[in-house]
Amino acid sequence: MTVFKASLRNFFAHKGRMALSAVAVLLSVAFVCGTLVFTDTMNTTFDKLFAATSADVTVSAKKSKDRDSRQETDKPPTVPASALSKARSAEGAKSAEGVVSSEKVTVVDEDDKNVGSSTGAPTIAGNWTVGDRRTMEITSGRAPRGPADVMVDADTAKKRKLELGDELRTITVTGDFTAKISGIATFQVTNPGAAIVYFDTETAQRKLLGATGAYTGLAVSADSGVTHGLLKKNVKASLGADTYTYQTQKEAADSSRDQIGSFLDVMKYALLGFAGIALLVGIFLIVNTFSMLVAQRTREIGLMRAIGSSRRQVNRSVLIEALLLGVAGSVLGVGAGVGLAIGLMELMGYLGMNLSTSELTIAWTTPVAGLVLGILVTMLAAYLPARRAGRVSPMAALRDAGTPADGKAGALRGVLGVLLCGGGGAGLYAATKAEKAAEGSVWLGVGVVLTLIGFIVVGPLLAGGLVRVLSVVTLRPFGRVGRLAERNALRNPRRTGATAAALMIGLALVASLSVVGSSMVASATKELDRSVGADFIIQSGNGQPITRTVEKKLKASKNLETVTSYKIVNARITAPGGKPDGAQLTATDPSYMRDLRRETKSGDLDAAYDRDSMSVGDAYAKKNDVKVGDTLKVAFGSGRTAKLTVAAVTSDDSSVDKGSMYTDIATARRYLPAGQVPPNTIMFGSAKDGQEDAAYTALKKEMKPYPQYQVRDQADFKQTLQDQVGQMLNMVYGLLALAIIVAVLGVVNTLALSVVERTREIGLMRAIGLSRRQLRRMIRLESVVIALFGAMLGLGLGMCWGAAAQKLLALEGLKILEIPWPTIGSVFIGSALVGLVAALVPAFRAGRMNVLNAIATE
Amino acid sequence: MTTAVANPRSGGSGARSAVAAAARQLVKSYGSGETRVTALDHVDVEIARGAFTAIMGPSGSGKSTLMHCLAGLDSATEGRIWVGEQEITGLKDKKLTRLRRDRIGFIFQAFNLLPTLDALENITLPMDIAGRKPDKEWLERVIKTVGLSDRLKHRPSELSGGQQQRVAVARALAARPEIIFGDEPTGNLDSRAGAEMLGFLRRSVDELGQTVVMVTHDPVAAAYADRVLYLADGRIVDEMNRPTAEAVLDKMLRLAANTPHTAGELGANGSRP
């Protein structure tokens, strides 16, 4: 009990010194809890949405089990109207109605602006049904009644400033059509972001499916007292068990949620990963805090031991302090986490994603996870310092006060560190030499983890050399004050090492990702230069394939000399005497050969576009022992089986269309039923020589009514690529910022505690004439050199990781290693600034110290 | 200050007055109202240039406070203080720091040296801080005088207590300050090392013309001085010129008898070797 009391007193006596450690625990725990609350809330929102929008029993077209032969066409699969009357008469069915719904649409306003979501949520067009009335209420105007009416959801109307009477143009497979807004309907549950437009049933059928008399699904409601399961059984019995897919409300909601759930899970684990990194960094801060508190309390602990405390008691008293710190930090962290989640939801609101705080979901596991994690990590981090405290000899009480003995980095540390780094280096090397990506990534992972631990272990030993080198450049110009700062940074290598290691972790990740990112851009740019001959690339930005209307428009364009269609056709391909291998054909116009330059290993790619001919990739040819002139059996999904002659074997040395098997669209058309020819996923165009610029301007203008399709020339395309990689990197940097902030807190913490520890020294220096300014500068310089040391380790390590990753990814086409020196350089300089900022408060406090207190003899 | 550097024997800022430091009606008190404690009570004092002055008194008599005020480490509550010709009362921290750096040397009882610097670096520290080059000849002479020539590259932790204090003396002398203040400089030393240390201070006064002010409660130490000032209850109660250890002890015992509430403590201090 007395041990506990002493710990409690110590904890509160040093609460200022504990504050930054508590903040580190708080931040990490808040990130973890915030992530959990946020993703749980999103799950709740989607659950409610899907539960509310699913009918008691849903009937939809049968999904083929055989994924290979399922052909994506431009029209959704349908259920005939005849099924609807059968469903109505099924036993236990109160009512049934046909639902028409498609996500392959784009809706634009009068200025040709896409009214759909910008966050990746779909645009859904459908018929206004009884089922919809359960979840939506018409808040102004009326339901759509004819081909000239359209109703839009209130969130979209508000976001895009749409009013009754405004014209909306809907771009569908069947063409474009314009309708006036007749009504605005408001969701009664939270709709996270999909844009929804409604038509009357006949218009929806004509425009979205191209024919009346069919639906994309049937919604059947149960009589009271009839369970969904029973109703499903009855409907199934009356429509035929194998004809359609049947789902109860729960099944439909679950399957919808599974689709989005996997995305949410990826997001959740990615965010938790970043929280984990911050927590890891926080460990260093806590270890340092307790090490320094124990060191400062050496005499006190010695006295306790001298008057009879056991090692265990001393040890335990430190751990109890850690427990208090962990509890305080975690409890605050859980609270902050909920706040963070709410903040994230607000932020999402700005970005166009609606989440309601009324659906804020805090599972009981969230605070438990936060508390357990925070407390466990704190205790774990305090374990080593606590053990060291237990080892303090009773003699320490009798020794002179003054600065505690400097921790010397030991030989064991050196051996262990070198072994780890060596092992990690070997892992990285193995990754660069790997022949298969999967095997290589295991080596890469091993290499990264081992080198990281190795650097952490060996860091204090490197501190001596590297800090001196850095000091020559950065500190020496400041004369004696600089040299004092250098000596201070060197006097306890373990402390400097741990402080710098915390910064190192975040910066190593930044450096490695920036290397991979810029290598990605450089490799792709080079590949584009090498292989792409087309002047323009037309691609969909929202997943809607290129509609026939737009395809025709492009083909008819006077600005373009050649226009190439590009379709992916599902097919099972069988080599002579072999098993089916290969599930896709790339059907294009012959002009594609000029749009994308491919090297051939043998044969002539031109001939692959002859009637009933094709080409195969090198790897396929080797694997199946296929040569030019062989005939392959190609079973087109939902079509006939053809015998195509191999006319060329293309080289696989390309990251674009790697391993693709080409054939002419005309060939594919002959074996596919008329309605089963897939739409273009991408198109290419070229202008006459010398007219590229004019053609580009004209083409952009031509495509203006179709904002979902982007027209890019090669320069644009490269820029887009670079922007995408840049955006992704910025997001990751943003998330890593948390770890870096914790690391900076660590620098502040180390400096603040060092200043306290050096009170007498500071007093002496002030007495013999060191000015406040010089004193502050000394502390700032120490901070800068620690930060630069951490940055040097981190950037060096990160660049090695990045280079190893690039060598590994060379298998996937990442052929060029590009070190982004401007980024690396600015991170390095930025670290120096971070060091300056970290020293602000400790330097200020040191300057304010009373000289007399500092030099007062005991 | 240039003259101070050029002419070590006189020290000082060119002024040739016989007074190195002075205080008039100096009051230093802490707290306010009923809890107000007066450490110095209207003290008038002059420190003679080129002389060795000892300030004696029991614990709590204000002797350390007097030294701190004269040295620009602490500020006066009332009264005026001069170092040489310059009045330092009311100076801002920046100017006080420069004053201490350029014109004053310190020797504390313990913890005189920076652990990260070796002996030589500690000695030249005040000049390094000021960005001045030390006078090599002078430096060598000081180091030789205190007998540290073979210990210059040692860190403080590798030096004995006596050696550490000698480094502190060398540091105080090396910058050729106008006044060196010692705060119980022999307090942590055994009698042999203490005597050696006091010998250095004495010689610096006799041979180099240095001004030295030392706070002590050891009559033996005080006997090295030219003049001893006695403080009790924040006032200068007596002084003695050309003291001997016996005379100092004798006087202290008599003073203790006159101020009963400090008698016991004084007796204990006085009986120290």
Write down the ipTM of this complex.
0.82
Q: What is the pLDDT of residue B17?
A: 67
Segment A43-77, tens digit of pLDDT:
888 888 888 888 899 998 876 555 444 566 667 78
* Residue type for position A207: K
Collect all residues of chain A within an 8 Å Cβ-Cβ radius of residue B97. 766, 769-772
Show which of residues 58-97 on chain B sit within 8 Å of chain A, judged by CB atoms: 68, 73-74, 93-94, 97
Segment A410-440, tens digit of pLDDT:
778 888 989 999 999 999 999 988 888 888 8
Q: Which residue's entry shows tokens 């018929």?
A: A127
Rg (CA), chain B: 18
3-state secondary structure A213-255: CEECEEEEEECCCCCHHHHHHHHHHHHCCCCEEEEEHHHHHHH
Collect all residues of chain B within an 8 Å Cβ-Cβ radius of residue A481. 129
CA–CA dist A590, A587 (Å, integer): 9
| CA distances in angstroms from A120 to A193, A544, A627, listed in the order given | 9, 12, 44
Q: What is the pLDDT of residue A4?
A: 74
CA–CA dist A233, A241 (Å, integer): 9
On whether the CB atoms of residues A382 and A318 are closer than 8 A, the answer is yes
On whether the CB atoms of residues A475 and A482 are closer than 8 A, the answer is yes
Q: What is the pTM of this model?
A: 0.83
Q: Which CATH class name applies to B49-71+91-270?
A: alpha beta
Q: What is the pLDDT of residue A131?
A: 83
Q: What is the pLDDT of residue A309?
A: 80
- Strand runs labelled E in B112-210: 179-183
Show which of residues 236-265 on chain B sit within 8 Å of chain A, judged by CB atoms: none
Collect all residues of chain A within an 8 Å Cβ-Cβ radius of residue B115. 402-403, 491, 761
Q: What is the pLDDT of residue B2?
A: 33
Instruction: Count other Cβ atoms within 10 Å, centred on residue A824.
Output: 22
Q: What is the pLDDT of residue A398?
A: 64
Segment A746-761, tens digit of pLDDT:
999 889 888 888 888 8
Distance between A850 CA and the closest CA of chain B, angstroms: 10
B102: contact with A, CB 8 A cutoff: yes
CA–CA dist A588, A598 (Å, integer): 14
- Report CB contact under 8 Å: B114, A402: no
- φ, ψ (nearest 5 deg) of residue A23: -65, -40
CA–CA dist A650, A425 (Å, integer): 37
Q: Is residue A500's pLDDT more than 90?
A: yes
CA atoms within 13 Å, Cβ hemisphere of A293:
29
Show which of residues 154-173 on chain B sit within 8 Å of chain A, judged by CB atoms: 171
On whether the CB atoms of residues A287 and A385 are closer than 8 A, the answer is yes
List the alpha helices (DSSP H) in A638-711. Answer: 665-671, 692-702
Rg (CA), chain A: 34
Distance between A286 CA and the closest CA of chain B, angstroms: 26
Collect all residues of chain B within an 8 Å Cβ-Cβ radius of residue A760. 111
List the alpha helices (DSSP H) in A54-139. Answer: 81-88, 130-135
Q: What is the pLDDT of residue A672?
A: 86
Q: Which residue's entry shows tokens 């614990």?
A: B59
Q: What is the pLDDT of residue A397?
A: 66
Name the pLDDT band for A858 (thresholds 50, 70, 90).
Answer: very low
- Report CB contact under 8 Å: A767, B106: yes
CA–CA dist A685, A218 (Å, integer): 42
Nearest to A803 by CA among A514, A501, A535, A373: A514
- φ, ψ (nearest 5 deg) of residue A20: -70, -35
- Report CB contact under 8 Å: A761, B114: yes
Which tokens hold the place of A755? 């200043």
**pLDDT of chain B along its 273 residues, tens only?**
333 333 333 344 444 568 899 999 999 988 887 888 888 989 999 999 999 999 998 888 888 899 999 998 888 899 999 998 899 998 888 888 889 888 999 998 877 888 888 899 999 988 888 888 888 998 998 898 888 888 899 988 888 888 998 899 899 988 889 999 998 888 888 888 889 889 989 988 998 889 999 999 888 999 999 999 999 888 998 888 888 888 888 888 887 776 554 444 443 443 333
Once rounded to an integer, what is the mean pLDDT over residues A575-604? 86
Distance between A285 CA and the closest CA of chain B, angstroms: 24
Helix (H) or strand (E) holding B252: helix B245-258
Which tokens hold the place of B92? 């801002």
Tell me the average pLDDT of chain A. Answer: 87
List the alpha helices (DSSP H) in A758-771. Answer: 759-767
CA–CA dist A260, A254 (Å, integer): 10
Nearest to A802 by CA among A538, A510, A425: A510
Segment A252-265, tens digit of pLDDT:
998 888 888 888 88
Q: Which residue has the higher pLDDT, A329 or A357?
A: A329
On whether the CB atoms of residues A392 and A301 are closer than 8 A, the answer is yes
Strands B78-83 and B86-87: antiparallel
> Domain ranges in chain A?
1-55+250-399, 63-242, 460-534+713-858, 562-686
Distance between A826 CA and the closest CA of chain B, angstroms: 32
Mean pLDDT is lowest, of A26-35, A166-175, B251-260, for B251-260
Mean pLDDT is lowest, of A19-28, A61-70, A479-488, A823-832, for A61-70
- Chain B nearest-CA residue for A770: B129
Helix (H, G, I), strand (E, B) or coil at A288: helix
Distance between A481 CA and the closest CA of chain B, angstroms: 7
**Best mean pLDDT range from A502-511, A580-589, B56-65, B123-132:** A502-511
Collect all residues of chain B within an 8 Å Cβ-Cβ radius of residue A484. 114, 116-117
- Report CB contact under 8 Å: B97, A771: yes
